[in-house]
Amino acid sequence: MATSLCKVEKDFKYRRILENHNNTVQDHKIYFNPLLHIVTLIIWVSALTLIVLCTIFAILRLQGNTETKQIESSTRPVSGKTGDPTKVLSCYYNFPSEIVSHELMPADIHPYLCTHINVAFARVVNKQISLEKHELTTLQEVVKLKHSNPDLKILLSVGGAGNDNGFSEMVINHASRKIFIKSIKYMLRNYTLDGIDLDWEFPALHGLQGSGRERQHFSQLLREIRMEFIREKRDYILTIAAAAPQIIVDVSYDIDQLNQYVDFVNVMTYDYHYYTKYTPFTGFNSPLYPRASEQLYLATLNINYTVQMYLSKGLDPSKIVVGVPTYGHTFTLVNQNNHGVSSPASGFGSLGALGYINYPQVCSFIANFTSDTTIQQDSEAKVPYLYNYKEWVSYETPQSVMEKAQFIKQNNLRGAMIYSLNADDFEGICKHEDSHSNKFTLSLSVRNTLMCSNCSKI
Ligand SMILES: *[C@@H]1O[C@H](CO)[C@@H](O)[C@H](O)[C@H]1NC(C)=O
Ligand SMILES: *[C@@H]1O[C@H](CO)[C@@H](O)[C@H](O)[C@H]1NC(C)=O
Ligand SMILES: *[C@@H]1O[C@H](CO)[C@@H](O)[C@H](O)[C@H]1NC(C)=O
Ligand SMILES: *[C@@H]1O[C@H](CO)[C@@H](O)[C@H](O)[C@H]1NC(C)=O
């Protein structure tokens, strides 16, 4: 129908060009002919009507297409107890170590804090999802949170930093992907999970033989998982965790395929700066915007750039879930008098472990060493940092993560991802007078800003 209408219009346009041509040839003979004017008017009106009709038709068809696509990778509403049901707050929960005490246990996660909990991380071993016994027990404990909040979605997250070994041999052909998909189905069914989150860091990046096709193979995997979910008539959720730096994004993902097959993308918009031998400078873990002094590549290492980059590559805003860290990075300054951003650093800080520090540790450090600690707010990057002699720390506060949540709302993105619940203040050490609850203050700040203006307090 649409095509035939448009064809009529095209033929019509073509005739008019011919007619115009004839008219100019005959112009000198026609001085004034009212009939001709009326006819011309009628022709113009019909032409305009046809164009309008065709445009409407084209738009309707486009919408139809996106609708069918969205059935595949559906934008299902997800909801907490209150608030905007279309927004996502997807929170990573890491398996507690069996040896360390004071770890966050599943029963201590507030069931209404997040819309999605990604239990992390399972590995890929022999093309199958692999978990240790104690991890399976933890997974079952997390699923029990659904008794308190039936709307809460629990996903199993596969991969994670340094856990990418099994992916390459698994994606390489249809047969091995099939083994993996079977193990996904088994896990989802047998542990009554709501979906799977793939954290391959990163497809096509390690430079091994055959990695050139990995991006394509990864897209095929996503497609096959989605098709299997549809075939099973289950509304399982499929998400991925994706890189923030453009140099990785360019290599690892087919953005149009992500639009088609995943429910949303957890963008890891953190670790923009941390100490390495090659980057021996202080810098922000998760700056919202660049600082004016940053140029070229350095000006790309911030949330705003990453989000605009994904949007300009065509990733739908409804697929973008922006990562918000609860942990910070620590540095040791070369010279304690040179304590600004981008100052020379000689290594990780002494706080935390291997340069990573949890939010409650930051609070307790500030409380213990108030007089020697200087706290600065960077008005451009919208994050704080602190220094104390040679210790330098980039971290987040309820204020800085709230600004990230506001950015997410302003840009109409799908939501926020928290990495991780474990590094948030789950024991209530930070004691913010201004907040109703003293626990999970960073995640809560994101939740309250993102999901609702007047949330039921938790
Ligand atoms: C399926 O999960 C249950 C717990 O939900 C577990 O007891 C059982 O062993 C699992 N089945 C298999 C075949 O592993
Ligand atoms: C955010 O990114 C957009 C697009 O690149 C740019 O126009 C805008 O100026 C950026 N905002 C800031 C504060 O840097
Ligand atoms: C702060 O002091 C308390 C009590 O002495 C101690 O347990 C804690 O480890 C200290 N924290 C830091 C980061 O130094
Ligand atoms: C916010 O919620 C509280 C309690 O849930 C309610 O009493 C109050 O009227 C609400 N305010 C607005 C502006 O909706």
Closest residue by Cα to residue 152 from 185, 118, 179: 118
Indicate whether residue 304 lines ligand 2 (CB < 6 A): yes
For ligand 4, atom 11, name the residue with the nearest CA.
Answer: 454
- DSSP code, position 83: S
Q: Which residues line ligand 4 (CB under 6 A)?
A: 454, 456
* CB 359 near ligand 3, within 6 Å: no
Which residues are the active-site residues? 201
Structure tokens given for 28: 């000198």
What's the gap in Å between 444 CA and the centre of ligand 3? Answer: 24
* Residue 180 tokens, joined: 């993996």
Give the whole-angstrom CA distance, residue 358 versus residue 245: 23
Backbone torsions φ then ψ of 126, nearest 5 degrees? 50, 45
Q: Assess whether the C-beta atom of 281 lies below 6 angstroms from ligand 1.
A: no
Contact by Cβ (8 Å): 440, 396: no
Nearest CA to ligand 1 atom 7: 190
The pLDDT, as a whole number, for residue 69 is 40
Residue nearest atom 7 of ligand 4, based on CA coordinates: 454
Q: Which residue owns the Cα nearest ligand 1 atom 13?
A: 190
d(CA 123, CA 360): 29
Reported as a single tens digit per residue, the pLDDT across 327-370 is 999 999 999 999 999 999 999 999 999 999 999 999 999 999 99
Which residue is associated with the tokens 């989000």?
307
DSSP track, 112-169: TT-SEEEEEEEEEETTEEE--HHHHHHHHHHHTHHHH-TT-EEEEEEE-TT--HHHHH
Q: Give how far Cα 288 sits from Cα of 31, 291, 446, Å.
A: 68, 10, 14
The predicted structure's pLDDT at residue 22:
42
- Nearest residue by C-alpha to atom 14 in ligand 2: 289
In this structure, what are the phi and psi dihedrals at residue 20, rounded to the nearest 5 degrees?
Answer: -55, -40
* Phi, psi dihedral angles at 209 (to 5 degrees): -60, 135
Report the separation in Å between the CA atom of 325 and the middle of ligand 2, taken as the mean of its atom positions. Answer: 21
Q: Residue 455: its pLDDT value, please?
A: 65
User: What is the distance between the alpha carbons of residues 83 and 22, in angstroms, rounded to a whole number?
Assistant: 65
Q: How far is the CA of 456 from the centre of ligand 4 (A)?
A: 8
**Ligand 3 nearest-atom number relative to CA 362:** 13
Which pLDDT score, from 0 to 100, does residue 41 have?
A: 61
- Choosing from 246, 288, 289 the residue with most ligand 2 atoms within 8 A of its CB, the one to mutate for a pocket test is 289
In the numeric block, which tokens belong to residue 113?
């804090």
Q: Whose CA is nearest to atom 10 of ligand 1?
A: 190
- Find the helix packing angle between 2-26 and 34-72, rounded to 10°: 150
* Inter-CA distances, 244 with 78, 206, 222, 309, 446, Å: 25, 17, 20, 9, 20
Per-residue confidence (pLDDT) for residue 97, from 0 to 100: 85
Q: In the structure encoding, which two tokens stand for residue 146, read together?
A: 């659904």
**Protein residue whose Cα sits closest to atom 4 of ligand 2:** 308
The answer to whether the pTM exceeds 0.75 is yes
User: What pLDDT score was predicted for residue 83?
Assistant: 62
What SS3 class is residue 198? strand
The tokens for 355 are 């340069």
pLDDT of residue 58: 54
Q: In this structure, what token pair is assigned to residue 59?
A: 């738009």
Cβ atoms of residues 176 and 170 within 8 Å: yes
CB atoms within 10 A of CB 338: 14
450 CA to centre of ligand 3 in angstroms: 33
CATH ID of 84-324+399-443, from 3.90.78.10, 3.20.20.80, 3.40.50.920, 3.40.50.150? 3.20.20.80
Distance from CA of residue 28 to its chain's centroid?
A: 67
**Closest ligand by atom to 381 CA:** 2
CA dist., res. 386 & res. 397, Å (int) = 12
- The sign of the CA dihedral 356, 360, 365, 366 is positive
The ligand placed nearest to the CA atom of residue 455 is 4
- Ligand 1: atom nearest CA of 140 is 5
For each of the chain's 458 residues, which pLDDT tens digit applies?
Answer: 344 434 334 443 434 433 444 443 344 444 445 555 655 665 566 666 666 555 555 554 544 444 334 333 333 433 345 567 789 999 999 999 877 778 999 999 999 999 999 999 999 999 999 999 999 999 999 999 999 999 999 999 999 998 878 999 999 999 999 999 999 999 999 999 999 999 999 999 876 656 679 999 999 999 999 999 999 999 999 999 999 999 999 999 999 999 999 999 999 999 999 999 999 999 999 999 999 999 999 999 999 999 999 999 999 999 999 999 999 999 999 999 999 999 999 999 999 999 999 999 999 999 999 999 999 999 999 999 999 999 999 999 999 999 999 999 999 999 999 999 999 999 999 987 666 678 999 999 999 999 876 666 67
Secondary structure of residue 118 in the 3-state scheme: strand
Considering every ligand atom shown, identify the ligand nearest to the alpha carbon of residue 411 and give its number: 2
- Which ligand 2 atom is at minimum distance from the Cα of 380? 13
Count how many Cα atoms sit within 13 Å of the Cα of residue 130 in the half-sphere of its side chain: 12
Ligand 2 center to 338 CA (angstroms): 29
- How many whole angstroms from its chain centre is CA 87? 12
* 427, 435 contact by CB (below 8 A): no
Tell me the torsion sign for CA atoms 158, 159, 160, 163. positive
Whole-angstrom Cα distance, residue 263 to residue 116? 12
The rounded distance, in Å, linking the Cα atoms of 188 and 142 is: 14
Q: Is 411 in the pocket of ligand 2 (CB under 6 A)?
A: no
Q: Quick check: CB of 310 below 6 Å from ligand 2? A: no
Best residue among 452, 454, 455 to mutate for probing ligand 4's pocket (most ligand atoms within 8 Å of CB) is 454
For strand 356-357 and strand 328-333, is the pairing parallel, antiparallel, or unpaired? antiparallel
